């Protein structure tokens, strides 16, 4: 078989697989504001924090605006060295639902967030039906948790998370962040459904809801103590046990200001992507191959073949088609951002360096978060 035909065949086969995966999103459902009410005190909210004084304010504003379905808000501090705890107490002094829990020091063998979530789960009100976990950088609307609980009941599931809308810090971040987000779409498809197989799992620990009894029965946070992507590892462990886990968009019910600038995005996002845990022994190499060949390669390949006057080749035809798919993904993903700047539309130019960054993150054995070295996935991760 001629090399041109072989290259075209490989790209086409991988591309069709990715396109079919995305096509399942045509049946997507979304979380919408609830029309009814949830029982009083049915949701316990856990917020694990570490040095969040500069970011916790908007999160607390949304939490305090929640209705009576939120019976308690547990702020679990993992040993902050800034004014996080003082800030929380100052901003929430008038709301009796807020309780600050000191979870320091983090025990050996645990990553800090997983430990904070485990401490919060054990401290939560036994009468609460739902446990909601939320990161300090999320800016929730007051009706978020009622909407999540209502959606879980409508879909007949006990665990789900939200694909939060992103707030960008500037034009350069609007190039880097969307290129990274697109890698998840290529690897897993679009939000809006329940995963029933481990390979289909998507999850976002920034905004997660699960039945309290379910988490306790599965030792949920203990089993992810050494994962650097505890959200996806938790969802995968539940799905492996036969429990479907949903992942949905929720519009403006949940916004997040994840990173302060493009440099922080570049440093930290690859660390948290779901490339390695105990369910992905080979480190997600197959997913990275799809990202490299179906997302990153087609645009520069088609441009290079055009400059070389090779537009009659089969490889050019397939690469050009996949480049148009990439533009379609870009247009569809725009709703994941709040008022993206014009540079958003340049983000496919970052696909190649982003792919290289993901490969480097996969190979790296040491990762840190705010000065603490993360425990690497082993028997638990």
- For the chain (381 residues), the mean pLDDT of every run of 10, in chain order, is 88 94 88 92 97 94 96 96 95 95 92 94 97 97 96 97 96 96 92 92 94 94 86 92 97 93 84 61 74 96 95 95 97 96 97 91 66 53 42
pLDDT computed for residue 11 by the predictor: 95
Domains of the chain as residue ranges with CATH: 1-381 (3.90.550.10)
pLDDT computed for residue 375 by the predictor: 59
The model scores a pTM over 0.85: yes
pLDDT computed for residue 381 by the predictor: 42
pLDDT computed for residue 124 by the predictor: 97
Both structure tokens of 128:
């609460």
pLDDT computed for residue 165 by the predictor: 97
């Amino acid at each position: 078989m001629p090399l041109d035909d072989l290259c075209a065949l490989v790209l086409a086969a991988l591309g069709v697989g990715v396109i079919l995966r995305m096509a399942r999103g045509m049946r997507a459902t979304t979380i919408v504001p609830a029309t009814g009410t949830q029982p009083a005190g049915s949701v316990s909210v856990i917020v694990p924090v570490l040095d969040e004084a500069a970011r916790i304010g908007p999160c607390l504003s949304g939490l305090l605006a929640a209705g009576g379905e939120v019976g308690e808000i547990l702020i679990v501090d993992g040993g902050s060295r800034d004014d996080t705890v003082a800030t929380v107490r100052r901003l929430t002094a008038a709301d009796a639902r807020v309780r600050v829990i000191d979870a320091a020091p983090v025990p050996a063998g645990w990553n800090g967030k997983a430990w904070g979530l485990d401490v919060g789960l054990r401290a939560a009100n036994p009468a609460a039906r739902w446990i909601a976990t939320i990161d300090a950088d999320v800016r929730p609307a007051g009706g978020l948790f009622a909407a999540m609980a209502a959606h879980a009941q409508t879909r007949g599931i006990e665990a789900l998370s939200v694909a939060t809308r992103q707030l960008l810090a500037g034009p350069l971040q609007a190039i880097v962040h969307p290129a990274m987000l697109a890698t998840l779409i290529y690897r897993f498809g679009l939000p809006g459904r329940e995963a029933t197989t481990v390979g289909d799992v998507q999850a976002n620990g920034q905004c997660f809801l699960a039945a309290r009894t379910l988490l306790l029965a599965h030792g949920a946070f203990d089993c992810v103590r050494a994962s650097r992507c505890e959200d996806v590892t938790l969802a995968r462990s539940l799905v492996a046990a036969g429990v479907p886990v949903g992942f949905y968009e929720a519009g403006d019910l949940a916004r997040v200001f994840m990173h302060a600038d493009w440099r922080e995005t570049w440093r930290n996002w690859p660390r948290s992507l779901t490339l390695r845990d105990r369910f992905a022994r080979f480190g997600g190499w197959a997913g990275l191959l799809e990202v490299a060949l179906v997302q990153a390669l087609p645009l520069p390949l088609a441009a290079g073949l055009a400059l070389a006057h090779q537009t009659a080749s089969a490889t050019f035809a397939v690469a050009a088609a996949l480049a148009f798919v990439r533009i379609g993904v870009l247009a569809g993903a725009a709703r994941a951002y709040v008022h993206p700047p014009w540079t958003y539309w340049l983000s496919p130019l970052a696909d190649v360096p982003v792919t290289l960054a993901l490969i480097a993150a996969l190979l790296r054995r040491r990762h840190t978060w705010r000065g603490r070295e993360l425990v690497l996935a082993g028997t638990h991760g």
